[in-house]
Structure formats: C-alpha cells, structure tokens
Amino acid sequence: MTNHHALFHGALRQYGSWNNTLSAARIENIPRQTRLGLLRSLRDAIEAGSEVSATLRSEIEYYFGSLQMAKLAMRTDVRLLSGWSKQRIIAMIAQRHRLNERLDYGTGRREFPALVSAAEAYFGSWGKALNAAGIDPNLYFVHHKWQESGV
C-alpha cells in the first residue's frame, strides 16, 4: 500500500478489497492476526511451555521472516512489555484475593476496570479468570451459580 500505490488502488478497483485480490491470485496462508496479536500468541505459547503450532509458526514467518526475529520483536515491543498477559492477570487477581478485597464483577468494574476488561479479553469472562486463579467464582456471584462451560 505504501510502496506500490498504483498496484494497490488498481487491485481495490478490480476486486473490491485486498483480501479478494490475494484470493484471486491464489495466495494463501495470509496472516489473520495483527503484529501485536501474533506476538501475544507467541508469548502465551512460550509462557505455557508448549510448542509453537504450525499455523502460528507459518504466520510468524510470513510476517516477521523467522521465529527468531519475532522473539526479538517480542522483547522490544513496548505495548507487549507493558500490557496484560494471562499470568499477570492471574497474579493480580490472586493478590487482591490475598488482601481480602471484593472480587465481584460490579466492584471490579468500578474499582479496577482495566483488570476486568483484560480478564474478559484473555479468559472470556470474569468467572473464568477467577477460576483460572484458583478462586471459586461462586463466592462472588450473588445472583446465580457460576459453572464452567461444558459442565
């Protein structure tokens, strides 16, 4: 888009979007995540001690050139270093639990909204985040009984 304006705009005129252009050219394995999303996925895989999946590896290699370059970018990206991770969310929830602070959803939304938002983004819900931290969510759910999905 920046280096080949005519090509990009011609492709948009002809096919309607860049993704349609790539599909028409039969170019597959296009990264589906953003740069930050790829780095977060890589960080989560490394922190979990699991191997990087083949799909993630191919997207990383497409975007960064190699896994090593992605790891280097992961260590220098300010947004990633100062942002949230599953381990950081669990640690903050556990700390609040040790300090006997209220961990119900309403209090969380008022007093520590960034933590609740991050927990919902990473775990899907506040209850799942509490469960991941080893805390029984039913202690904090007043109006209904919380249960894990699929139970």
pLDDT, tens digit (0-9, with 9 covering 90-100), for 34-72 = 888 888 888 888 888 888 888 888 888 888 889 999 999
pLDDT of residue 145: 63
pLDDT of residue 142: 64
pLDDT band at 92 (very low <50, low <70, confident <90, very high): very high
Q: What is the DSSP string of 95-148?
A: HHHHTT----HHHHHHH-HHHHHHHHHHHSSHHHHHHHTT--GGGT-SSS----
Check whether 94 has a pLDDT greater than 90: yes
30: tokens are 């296009």
pLDDT of residue 23: 79
pLDDT of residue 93: 95
pLDDT of residue 86: 86
pLDDT of residue 28: 66
pLDDT of residue 30: 60
State how far Cα 93 lies from the chain centre.
Answer: 18
Phi, psi of 32 (to 5 degrees): -100, -10
Chain segment 127-136, per-residue pLDDT in tens: 899 999 999 8
Our CA dihedral for 78, 82, 88, 94, rounded to 10 degrees, sits at 170
* % of the chain with per-residue pLDDT over 90: 26
